[in-house]
Structure formats: C-alpha cells, structure tokens
C-alpha cells in the first residue's frame, strides 16, 4: 500500500539526490507554505470582515497601493482572474469610496486606478497587520534566512511570470502616472 513516505514515481528510494530534495523535505515546504500564508493573512481578514470586504478586495487594494495609476488590464494580469470577477470587486471598492479610476491621459481607453485617501488608510491598516507578522518572522529568522526565503519562493514562480512579480519592486512611486505627460 502506498503511503505518504513512499518514494516518488520515477525516483529510486535511496538515490543520489541531496537530503533536502526528498519527499519529506518537499512535504515540509508545502505545509509550511500553506500554513504560513494562511497565518500571514489571518489578521487582515478580521479587518476586512469589519467592513464587509473580502480577500479579493484586499488583493486589489494591495496592488493598487503598490502601483498607483495602474490600468485595469495590469491588475487583471496580476490577479489572474477574469474581467467579470475583477469588475465586481472594483465596483465595490469604488462604491465604498476606497478606489477611484480616471481616464488615462496617454491612452483614453484605459482606466487608471488609484486609492482615495480613505482607501490608502485602509490599505495601510491592512498592510500593518501583515507587516507585523512578516517583520516578526524576519527578525526571528535573521537576514540570511530571509535571503533563502526569497530565493526559494522566486524559484517556485515560473520564469515567464517572474518578471511581472519582480517588476512590482521597481519604480515604486508609480512615476508613469505623471512622467512623460
């Protein structure tokens, strides 16, 4: 009977692969990722519930805060959901006065999204809930561990998607919204 510690298909049991590639280590990674992610966002969930919002709203708020002035299509790419799903979420956020959309100056088909002052306040509160946990874990684990943490996670993202994720880190003031224009 197959059990959880079986060798994977197409791999011999005690083969040459390093210790940290064995099933037990892989399962450990899967589980820590699952529970770690869930733990990280638990606090934010509580804040959202008070306002009648959900995780979908949080994700949109987060990325709009991160890249002010981004277009709807950018957000669709980041969230990897359908237009219809996003559309409801954005409508909620606009109705709550947390997000506003302006016609793009260069391309008037686009709707550039940004947080209102109230939206920025909520996003800050949500971010603070995540920051507490993440900064705590960083401090506990140490800087070198953090580098390893980033390295493994980056490796999990397929190369063709990596640029999109890493691009969030560049140009953090969303200069594009006012640059050339």
The CB-of-118 to a copy of itself minimum distance in angstroms stands at 11
Partners of 112 in the β-ladder: 71, 102
The CB-of-101 to a copy of itself minimum distance in angstroms stands at 17
Contact status: 3 vs a copy of itself (CB under 8 A): yes
Contact status: 28 vs a copy of itself (CB under 8 A): yes
Contact status: 100 vs a copy of itself (CB under 8 A): no
Stated length of the chain: 181
The CB-of-109 to a copy of itself minimum distance in angstroms stands at 25
What residues between 112 and 151 interact with a copy of itself by CB under 8 A?
115, 117, 120-121, 124, 127-128, 130-131, 133-151
Burial 29-42 (b: 16+ CB within 10 A, else e): eeeeeeeeeeeebe
Cα distances from 114 to residues 64, 145, 147, 173, in angstroms, run 6, 34, 31, 12
Q: Count Cα neighbours of 167 within 13 Å in the Cβ-side half-sphere.
A: 12
Which one, 76 or 137, has the nearer CB to DNA? 76
């Amino acid at each position: 009977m197959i059990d959880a510690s079986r060798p994977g298909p197409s791999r011999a049991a005690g083969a040459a692969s390093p210790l940290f590639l064995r099933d037990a280590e892989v399962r450990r990674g899967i589980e820590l990722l699952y529970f770690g992610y869930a733990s990280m966002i638990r606090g934010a969930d509580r804040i959202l519930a008070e306002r009648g919002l959900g995780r979908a709203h949080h994700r949109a708020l987060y990325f709009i805060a991160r890249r002010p002035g981004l277009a709807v299509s950018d957000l669709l790419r980041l969230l990897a959901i359908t237009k219809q799903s996003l559309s409801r979420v954005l409508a909620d956020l606009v109705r709550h006065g947390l997000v506003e959309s302006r016609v793009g100056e260069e391309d008037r088909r686009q709707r550039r999204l940004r947080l209102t002052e109230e939206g920025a306040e909520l996003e800050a509160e949500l971010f603070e809930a995540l920051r507490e946990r993440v900064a705590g874990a960083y401090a506990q684990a140490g800087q070198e561990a953090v580098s390893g943490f980033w390295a493994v996670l980056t490796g999990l993202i397929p190369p063709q998607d990596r640029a999109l994720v890493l691009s969030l880190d560049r140009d953090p003031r969303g200069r594009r919204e006012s640059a050339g224009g």
